[in-house]
Amino acid sequence: MNTTTPKLEISASRQFVPWLYEQNLSLVFTTYQAGKVFFIGLQPDGKLAVFERTLDRCMGLYATGNSLYISTLYQLWRFENTLAPGESHNGHDAIYLPQIGYITGDLDIHDIVIDDNQQIIFANTLFSCLATVSQTHSFVPLWQPAAEDRCHLNGLAIKDGKPKYVSVISKSDVAEGWRQKRVNGGCIIDIDSNKIIVDGLSMPHSPRWYQGKLWLLNSGTGEFGYADLESGKFQAVAFCPGYQRGLAFHNNFAIVGISESRHTKTLSGLPLDDKLAAKDASARCGLLVIDLKSGDLVHSLNIEGVVIELYDIAILPQIRRPMAIGFRSDEIRRVITIGTTNCLTAPILATQAF
């Protein structure tokens, strides 16, 4: 019997690397299926740089300033870039070091945002609500808490510095009721008015407010597009050959995560399957870069082997080659940062050898 573990293979389309260079950014994405966070950047010779760390069931991502927030199986972490602009360490111009971790329990945390008050807000899918962290409890509910995963609230969009829209798989109000409404029961809710603004969606994910539009992934149909808030309809912009989760923007580009189709009761029998069959295509795993002006898929990063599913994506602007310190090696013992009383002075990075 062949028990060989599939190897990880990452390959880029011809212009993906030049695009990273031109946009002056790097990317980070999570895969809870493999329990990994990946950083995608460029080596000094211009070739693709891939750095990974192991984090149990990592899902939600949010990058802001020097901070990177990541949800895991039962924790929510804030990683901090310890390098000042222009500094480097072993060829990396950003080192994300875990600084603060909250023990939340297994809430099945999906999307994360930081509001204009610097409050962490996340989609608490287990309790079908929006929540924030607590110094004394697993979480504090902020909007519409329930005791069960009823509607599978998974996505959260921030607008003008405040949480505004959430995506749910269905309007169901019974435990696990969303599973029977996967094909067309999804909707987007305005949390200020508590009104459904778009319905009839199929497994919607990753709502994001950008350039005056509410963008989202209609994952069950494989369509990326936006919500027409006047008509209440979803307007498709591009078809993506995979199950979509994770959406980020930079300039006039959208970066979308796609995953291979799982033959499970949850993800089988969706319109995406028929669309792929009609195009004589199979679902694949990776990142897609979409031109917002034309709707064309202009670049891609293909992932094969041990990783078959992605969840979230974040952009790290003006960073060429990031890395992170994890928990499974001695590095976390030996990387020490020293703060100063002068808030305008960057922290000192000290690496001890012992």
The yes-or-no verdict on residue 115 having pLDDT over 60 is yes
Six token digits for residue 212: 């005056």
Helix (H, G, I), strand (E, B) or coil at 68: strand
Residue 262: pLDDT band (50, 70, 90) is low
Q: In degrees, to the nearest 5, what angle opens at C-alpha 6 toward C-alphas 37 and 265?
A: 75
pLDDT for res 104: 98
Evaluate whether 60 touches 111 at the Cβ level (below 8 Å): yes
Neighbouring residues of 233: CB distance < 8 A, sequence distance ≥ 6? 198, 227
Half-sphere exposure of 61 (CA within 13 A, CB side): 27
pLDDT for res 41: 98
Q: What is the pLDDT of residues 132-166, one digit of tens each?
A: 999 999 999 999 866 666 688 999 999 999 999 99
Helix (H, G, I), strand (E, B) or coil at 82: coil
pTM of the predicted model as reported, rounded to 2 decimal places: 0.92
* Burial (CB count within 10 angstroms: exposed 0-12, middle 13-18, buried 19+), residue 62: buried
Q: What is the pLDDT of residues 282-311, one digit of tens each?
A: 999 999 999 999 999 999 999 999 999 999
Q: What is the pLDDT of residues 168-226, one digit of tens each?
A: 998 766 555 555 567 788 999 999 999 999 999 999 999 999 999 999 999 999 999 99
Q: What is the pLDDT of residues 304-341, one digit of tens each?
A: 999 999 999 999 999 999 999 999 888 899 888 888 77
Domains of the chain, earliest start first: 9-351 (2.120.10.30)
Residue 264: pLDDT band (50, 70, 90) is low
Residues in the chain: 354
The yes-or-no verdict on residue 2 having pLDDT over 60 is no
pLDDT for res 175: 58
Range with lowest mean pLDDT among 47-51, 205-209, 348-352: 348-352
Mean of per-residue pLDDT scores for the chain:
91
Helix (H, G, I), strand (E, B) or coil at 198: strand
State the virtual CA torsion across 231, 210, 124, 76 in degrees, nearest 10.
Answer: 170
| Percentage of the residues of the chain whose pLDDT score is greater than 90 | 81
pLDDT for res 151: 82
pLDDT for res 6: 79
pLDDT for res 35: 96
The yes-or-no verdict on residue 106 having pLDDT over 80 is yes
The yes-or-no verdict on residue 111 having pLDDT over 50 is yes
pLDDT for res 182: 72
pLDDT for res 354: 29
Q: Is 323 left (phi over 0), alpha (psi -120 to 50) or beta?
A: beta
Evaluate whether 261 touches 244 at the Cβ level (below 8 Å): no
pLDDT for res 267: 62
Per DSSP bridges, beta strands 129-132 and 140-143 are antiparallel
